[in-house]
Chains A and B, each alone.
Chain A
Amino acid sequence: MTATATLLSVEGVNKSFGGARALTDVSIQFLKGEVHALLGENGAGKSTLVKIIAQVISADSGRVVGSKADLSDVAMVFQELSVIPDLSVRENVALSLRKARNGVIPKKAQESRIREALTSAGLGGIDLDVPVEALPLAQRQLLEIARGLASNAETLILDEPTATLSDVEIRRVHDVVRSLAAEGRAIVYITHRLAEVFELSNRITVMRAGKVVANGPTSDFDMASLVTHMLGAEHRAGVVEIFDNTFDPGGARTLRVKALSVANKFNDVSFEVCGGEVTALFGQIGSGADEVVRAIVGYSNLDSGSVRLDEHEISGLSRHGSQKAGVSYVSADRVIEGVFLTASVVRNLTSGVLPSVSRGGVLTNAKEIALAKSVASRVTFDESRVRQPVGSLSGGNQQKIAIGRALATNPAVLVLNEPTRGVDIGARSGIYRALRKLASRNVAVVVYSSDVVELRELADNVITMFRGKTVSEHRVTSVTDAQLVSEILNGTA
């Protein structure tokens, strides 16, 4: 540790939204050449704090002091992706090079800087003129990072940059972050993946309920102490729970995927999932694993192959058809297709099962509430909050509602796409518990995940994918992390 100059400091910042207090007297210093991890459960106030630093929202009181008066040397990579869907890759990166005054866009002059930023973020070969909307989520996240890099700022804030990424990209992001810190920048790094904190950061600040509860060099912490700081002492027991992988096999239904292909996405994918099991598809961006789960639930035009639930062919069905056949889906993109943000929790939870909360086409309020409460308890969501609009919940709770929405339909097969993206460790264990419980009721669970830790906690079987093809299938208990990662990186063990 040579560089100790403070590049940015937050002093006594307070912030409330309406009557709800988001930040209370927060003071933190960010030092030159350091990666500073900012941790805390969902709703702890991390994003609020960094948005105040990035001048997206204003503090009620307190100050942010940077080396430049207008803080123009602070760049931010947002948690809710801020890449603009209709603009091309080039235009999106160019936006962060824009100076305050308007004028003609110097396309040629920017080209090399844009390329450079994209390459460091791991998007070296990308077509600059593709609209961002057409990119898969993970590439959009990398693009978001590229935007932060392009502006060449002294202080770079990354709000959950790796939430949507798989291990390879994560490693790449880590490399970039390390080299930026080595160049003498200050990096603020927010994450729910506690493992990477120890790998990457020099310093840690933990927030809880809008307050700083711990702060110090990374070496002062270990995993257990971090978790205690984050969740408070009373939460401690729940987190380290190891799940019981035994289940009742009787009378289960079986999902059989045979030689499934979608042009340009994946090819000849086959596997079986029995009721009571959790099977995870594991692959990195572009491996086609997430496309497989979308295809199962009726989102792709299949080129060949079949999907059967017991003896019923369900491969040609639309989303509506597959839902009717008993396949429920939890999308990776919470805001766009996961929940109805302005509708109440009740309405979200009952949206897929309207017939069962109505009589003769007329909704029965009592049934709706009863169903919502029972589903809420299954996903460990506070029953007393079911009348709130989902938009007013924290990210973790929103994700619980998205999953609850699928659970409410009592599916034979539950398909999830990145179910715990951006969810804190406490809420995450709640979600795993709910999914395990579901599996033990003979539901076949298929999950796409890019997180090894998640596989360990959640899955019975793992199918690795590489470049649109399955590599191999394992019981999760009989394979090492190294082997899994190697398979998705190289296509062989």
Chain B
Amino acid sequence: MYWRLRTYIAWALAISAFLVFAVSDSKFLNAGNLYALVQSFAVIGIVSIGLMLVMVAGEFDLSVAGTVPLAGLVAVRVSEASTVFVGVLAAVVVCGAVGFINGFVTARFALPSLAVTVGTLVLTTGLGFAIAGGQIVTLSDYEAGIALDSPIAELFSFRSLLQIILIAVVGLLFAKTWIGLGIRAVGSDPNRAATAGISIMRTMLTVFIVSGLFAGIAGAMQGVSLAAGVPGDDQAILLQAVTAAIIGGTALSGGRGSTLGVVAGALLLTIVSNGLSLQGTSTAVIQLLNGGILVLVVLVNQPLQTASKRLLDRTILKGKPATV
């Protein structure tokens, strides 16, 4: 109930932000600008959906900050030696493997995933530097990237469409299948979920591998698109993904989260940064505005929770067993 409210609020915020910019800046609704908006959204969206699954399972994946740039480097390096398709595939496989390690170690040794993924974050960052080998990593054929990004129906590109489709597929699987239910159950209470016959190992592997794969896809396609890979950790994307997930109503404590909410959260972030940079707003103002939005989300949280609890109490009383 309450968490559904959070989804609505995220959407309300995203839509209001959209309207504000649409009204205040004539260039905002320009197809070219909306294209840029969708491009950025797809990247944040896919990374935050992956992270959301992990968070719903009650875990966290810091290594995303390492796998995104690693995927870019692998994709560019391998593409240079072979084809772009093989390059992207290699990057995605590598990141899936990192996800596997995260999931396996977390489940097998019953460790806090925050700790595990600190390790894999350092590891993947190191791998990134090793792949770069102190050299500049570029893809001499940057036409491939331009093709990947060439507009489809003015607003989309192959890259953004693929990412959006993946978001939708995962969203559906999460909402409609036993897998999604299992993830929520494990996140809500791993011990009880295990008693109900849900394999914690399988759930952990699922969420971390998806998170790794999605970070890999985002990073690899970004790498091809930029025709370059940069070593180092990308904390900005991690921070944006967490923020989107939380604005969308994902609980850090696990068990709750909806794809729609997170999509709205990612949309809100992209719309705000797109709209502000269109107007050339200074970073100080952007920072303050971002801070303001977050404080708002945080502040409406508590009253809302109380209100929805009241509502729940009433429905429960109505649905009281017939015996009373």
A residues near B (Cβ < 8 Å) are 56, 78, 81-87, 91, 94-96, 98, 102-105, 122-127, 130-131, 134-136, 139, 142, 168-169, 172, 263-265, 284-286, 467
Contacts and interface: CB of A to CB of B under 8 A. Distances in A.
Across the A-B interface, give the 8 residue pairs with the lowest CB-CB distance, nearest first: A86-B255, A86-B188, A127-B319, A82-B195, A82-B192, A102-B178, A134-B312, A126-B319
B192 A94 contact: no
A123 B321 contact: yes
B322 A286 contact: no
A218 to B, nearest CB: 27
8 contacts: A82-B195, A84-B188, A87-B255, A95-B181, A96-B196, A98-B178, A103-B178, A265-B313
B17 interface: no
Nearest to B257: A86
B187 A86 contact: yes
Contacts, number: 109
Interface SS of chain B: helix, strand, loop or mixed?
A: helix
B255 A467 contact: no
A142 B324 CA distance: 14
Contact of B317 (A83, A104, A264, A284): A264
Contacts of A83: 192
Contacts of A127: 315-316, 318-319
Interface in B142-196: 176-179, 181-182, 184-185, 187-189, 192-196
A95 B198 contact: yes
A325 B136 CA distance: 70
Interface string B287-324: 00000000000000000000001101111111111111
Nearest to B189: A84
A105 B185 contact: no
A484 B187 CA distance: 43
Nearest to A81: B192
A130 B312 contact: yes
B1 A131 contact: yes
Given A82-B196, A83-B192, A105 B320 contact: no
Given A95-B181, A130-B315, A84 B193 contact: yes
Contact of A125 (B182, B196, B319): B319
Given A104-B176, A286-B324, A467-B324, A84 B196 contact: yes
A124 B317 CA distance: 13
B280 interface: no
Interface residues of B, number: 37
Given A104-B176, A168-B323, A87 B185 contact: yes
Contacts of A169: 323
A85 B255 contact: yes
A135 B316 contact: yes
Given A105-B181, A123-B321, A127-B315, A134 B309 contact: yes
B256 interface: yes
Given A82-B192, A82-B196, A264-B313, A286 B181 contact: no
Given A102-B182, A105-B181, A286-B321, 13 more contacts: A82-B196, A84-B192, A84-B193, A84-B196, A91-B185, A95-B198, A105-B178, A130-B312, A134-B312, A135-B316, A139-B316, A168-B323, A467-B324
A124 B181 contact: no
Contacts of B134: none
B313 to A, nearest CB: 5
Given A91-B181, A103-B177, A105-B177, A125 B255 contact: no
Nearest to A76: B195
A134 B316 contact: yes
B324 to A, nearest CB: 5
A126 B255 contact: no
Contacts of B188: 84-87
B181 A285 contact: no
